[in-house]
Chains A and B, each alone.
Chain A
């Protein structure tokens, strides 16, 4: 993949990451995706929960294999729960957020992007002799510069979503720094994959909602799409940092897309993982295993749909995931696209449905 393509991917990834889409309010991301997909989005459907579903058929030799590719649109963030007398906003996390990252963080509140900063009084107190533990939710508030409840109420409402106030930017050599790489990285991969041609495949692309709060969109999307095979496209943990044992890195930045073997929501279909690794080796595409068994993604919900679906996950490593400034390597995104693209060609060509795990009958 050439430099031009990298520039295209960087722009796509940045634009998608800058769109705001805390779980349950993915409208803005959906709109950007429609624009980026252009003609491909013409037959797209939006289901009752808000999943954006795009199906493409590529005629081949036999009965086409129906492959669901899922990338979730939502990002972790906060929700305003209360406006207090002093004009400060109480909030609840939406999705998995480590409270330690919040104090002093700039944020944007609600559809009008009202700027705010998260205050934690004790950070600025010097009279606390002991080392403070992680902040408690009840000690944190969002300050939007309003002196009273009435004034704050003119700008924000209970229920407004809050996002990190980060604009995507180029970073280091071939990296991107942005707020919602989990999972706009997967969305970018899926946008690019939809432009391809995979004879023998019926591609059922699902840009899903509410993954971060329990794989909810993927569950109903998989029920409706009834795929033969499912693949989740994700952004995943990358802890290749100083002071972290190699055994705990989970993934390494720039070492290629990460294949899951098992997480808390699913066990990857072994044959799918074999075909993915075999394809990568053949084409010289770098790949790595996600060396971590916690967390879960849309593959978990897809695998349990209807009578069950063989699934796997291909993820882009993201440092500082679920925080205001995640970092990913464009080359990992490009490699994920090449890998899944070649995988789909093989699935269509060989009519792979990954039902061979049985072998008993």
Chain B
């Protein structure tokens, strides 16, 4: 599992350019599913055919945050636009990588007051002597450059949001031997830009039931905003966030599945943020939807932190859920 997460987080895949992640996931999941296709926006849809059971859509997004080149000046310094919800405060000093492997350092113009700092005041230094020596073009996107590291059972790395969710889906597909449902494993694009891939893939699949697997924030760090979710206390079963109030029967079924699998779980109420389930729930005439979350600290930074036990727990909850699920 850790190796799988490492392979997935090290793949390059900012929103809109998820090709490398998609190819990697396709490779990982192909032996364990009955079919695989890519839709017009680039969502990867894999399925296990189990006759006439209800269609259950599991969704995890492939995309990660990025920095898109908007301008290269005469000295070769690069200005960028954030791709997704990228905070500017932690960026100076970070390393980023472009497709092709060119490394850049994010740096800041000198400002009188740190409050003046914003993306417009930051730039990427490619170590180039001038514009001609900067081998990037307007529109190229860089992502954080960090390996996946561990501290005990903790995982630390970039793009755990939501490659851990992708890893959970791959692992569920691998371990799922029999089920009364038709399971669709959907790896979505452009979640970070507004839950876009989930909307179109759900329209195509017309699921009877859906569960998104994504990361969520925690309240277990010094002076954190109050939130009843901690790292290492099990996967979280979402009650609500700003995109969705989870369908009560789906939520209950997930909680019962956790009990069946003897996996400790936490209930999650996220005050700000949303997941793919928010748009899946509103597809066509509506889809009962829920979310299994992996508690993760320091979201949207190069050093997101999650616990392997929570990830493993999520796999087991979903396996139990699919085994008993007959549609809400």
Contacts and interface: CB of A to CB of B under 8 A. Distances in A.
B70 A293 contact: yes
A359 B138 contact: no
Interface in A317-361: 354-355, 357-361
A256 interface: no
Interface string B139-166: 1000000000000000000000000000
Interface in B8-40: 15-17, 19, 22-23, 25-26, 36-40
Nearest to B196: A304
Contacts of A262: 16, 68, 81, 83, 139
A273 B43 CA distance: 19
A214 interface: no
Contacts of B71: 246-247, 291
- Contact residue range for chain B? 35 or more
A304 B199 contact: yes
B41 interface: yes
B26 A360 contact: yes
Interface in B195-250: 196-197, 199-201, 203-204
Contacts, number: 93
DSSP class of B's interface residues: helix, strand, loop or mixed? mixed
Q: How large is the interface on A (under 10, 10 to 19, 20 to 34, 35 or more residues)?
A: 20 to 34
Nearest to A353: B40
B73 interface: yes
A307 B198 CA distance: 10
Interface string A274-290: 00000000000000010
Given A292-B70, A360-B38, A307 B22 contact: no
B190 interface: yes
A270 interface: yes
Contact of B37 (A268, A306, A309, A361): A361
B264 interface: no
Contacts of A307: 39-40, 200-201, 203-204
A361 B42 CA distance: 11
Interface string A152-188: 0000000000000000000000000000000000000
B203 A357 contact: no
Contacts of A273: 139
Contacts of A248: 120
A141 interface: no
B106 to A, nearest CB: 16
A303 interface: yes
B54 interface: no
Give the residue among A291, A305, A306 with the most B Cβ atoms within 10 A.
A291
Contact of A358 (B42, B70, B83, B120): B42
B40 A308 contact: yes
Taking each of A246, A248, A261, which has the highest tally of chain B beta carbons within 10 Å of its own beta carbon? A261
Nearest to B43: A308
Contact of A267 (B22, B37, B138, B193): B193
A247 B70 contact: yes
Given A247-B70, A357-B42, A261 B37 contact: no
B53 interface: no
B327 interface: no
A359 B79 contact: no
Contacts of A293: 68, 70, 81-83
Nearest to A310: B40
A337 to B, nearest CB: 23
A248 B73 CA distance: 12
A268 B16 CA distance: 8
B138 A289 contact: yes
B134 interface: no
Contacts of B22: 358-360
Contacts of B37: 358, 361
Contacts of A246: 71, 73
Contacts of B17: 270
A267 B199 contact: no
B44 interface: yes
Contacts of B44: 358, 360
Given A291-B71, A306-B200, A359-B23, A261 B39 contact: no
Contacts of B201: 307-308
A301 B25 CA distance: 28
A110 to B, nearest CB: 37
A292 to B, nearest CB: 7
Contacts of A306: 200, 203-204
A89 to B, nearest CB: 36
Nearest to B202: A307
A354 B42 CA distance: 10
B81 A292 contact: yes
A205 B30 CA distance: 40
Contacts of A268: 16
Contacts of B190: 267
B38 A358 contact: yes
A310 B36 CA distance: 20
B298 to A, nearest CB: 24
Contact of A304 (B25, B138, B200, B204): B200
B26 to A, nearest CB: 4
Contacts of A289: 138-139
Interface in B54-70: 68, 70
Contacts of A305: 200
A306 B41 CA distance: 11
Interface in B105-153: 120, 138-139
Contacts of B68: 261-262, 293
26 contacts: A247-B70, A261-B139, A267-B15, A267-B193, A273-B139, A291-B138, A293-B82, A303-B41, A303-B196, A305-B200, A306-B204, A308-B39, A308-B43, A308-B201, A308-B203, A310-B41, A357-B41, A357-B42, A358-B22, A358-B37, A358-B38, A359-B23, A360-B26, A360-B44, A361-B36, A361-B38
Interface of A: 246-248, 261-262, 266-268, 270, 273, 289, 291-293, 303-310, 354-355, 357-361
Given A247-B71, A310-B40, A360-B25, 5 more contacts: A247-B70, A262-B81, A293-B81, A304-B200, A307-B204
